[in-house]
Structure 1
Amino acid sequence: MALLFAALRVVLGLFFVVTGAVKLTDQISGDAYRQMKSQFVQFADVFPLKEFGYKPEPDQYREVVGWIEVVAGLLLTFGPQLLQELSNFVLSIIMIGAIYTLLVLKESIAMCAPTTVCLGLLLLLNIRGRGKSAKPKFE
């Protein structure tokens, strides 16, 4: 079972590396990069902190999210356990923000599904990690 969770962690981490890289460069997929650029214009319009007077510039917002996904994905995949847990937390916050954004934009269930699945898998890894360390040891 531990091998299954390790494989899930690696696959999920590499997925975030790729999705983050797509937000940063058109070298991986020009179409996906252009789509991200246009989507982040909408995402910036409904940014959660907008209510407090902060609205990010769309390209900067996209780049920050992209770099966070790349770095956190690498740490989730290859980092020591503490950094894996920290990156899991950061990526979970990013996914919660993404779900919020998609719901505010009234996107279809199909658009929300990948983000929701990613959040669910991150939470599964987090719960699994906490359950493992929280087990009482009877020696």
Structure 2
Amino acid sequence: MSSLAPSVLTLTLGMFFILMGQFKVTPRYFPDVYEDMKQEFGRNNKVFPFYQLTGWRPYAKNYRLTVGIVEIVCGITLVLVPGRLKQLANIVLLILMLGAIYTHYALNDKFDRMAPGIICSLLLFTRLLILRHSGHSNLIKIDKSIEDQQELSDRKKNN
């Protein structure tokens, strides 16, 4: 990513998910938020997305810890790791956020409970679109450059 905006978006999303994951994993810094997360995942566990498919439902604690650790690892990847791993982290976080939206919908929560997941999903999707567009435009520039070089070479041959 060559411009400032996508880089800022990537860093902001990474830091956000590190913080959100930390809320789920440890009570050390924000004990009240951690307790809320514990209760929330007790509710979330009841509508685990793959229960109907597999007949298996994780323990609420393991579910919360897994989601938190995945958010932290993907957030760190967005902030610190260069290259294609950022895209993988982005996709994993997008899937998590879609799962969060589904969970709140299945629990018949109000829109204000779904809004953070929707907003994060849109930001993650936007990041992927920006990256894809910038990668696509770079390919177009490379193709144009190759065509220009071939045309210049052809002109030299004809002269």
TM-score (norm 2): 0.85
Does residue 25 (structure 1) correspond to residue 26 (structure 2)? The answer is yes
Q: How much does 1:10 deviate? A: 0.2
Number of residue pairs aligned between Structure 1 and Structure 2: 139
Task: Please tell me whether residue 126 in structure 1 is matched to residue 138 in structure 2.
Answer: no
1:81 shift after superposition: 2.1
Pairwise CA distance, 1:113: 0.8
* CA–CA distance in structure 1, aligned partners of residues 99 and 43 of structure 2: 14
Counterpart in 2 of 1:45? 46
Distance in 1 separating the partners of 2:121 and 2:80? 19
Equivalent position SS for 2:41: helix
Pick the aligned partner of 1:79 from 78, 81, 95.
Answer: 81
- Which position in structure 2 is the counterpart of 1:57? 59
Between the aligned residues of both structures, percent identity stands at 35
Secondary structure in structure 2 of the residue aligned to 1:98? helix
Matching residue of 1:8: 9
Based on CA coordinates, which of the two structures has the bigger radius of gyration?
2
Q: Which of 96, 101, 104 lines up with 1:102 in the alignment?
A: 104
What secondary structure sits across from 1:38 in the alignment? Answer: helix
| Per-residue deviation, 1:129 | 0.6
CA distance in 1, matches of 2:93, 2:72: 10
For residues 2-61 of structure 1, give each alpha carbon's deviation from its aligned partner in whole angstroms, at most 9, with x where no partner exists: 101101110110000000011000012111100000110111110011102010100000
Deviations along 1:56-85, one digit per CA (max 9) or x if unpaired, are 100000000000000000001111121110
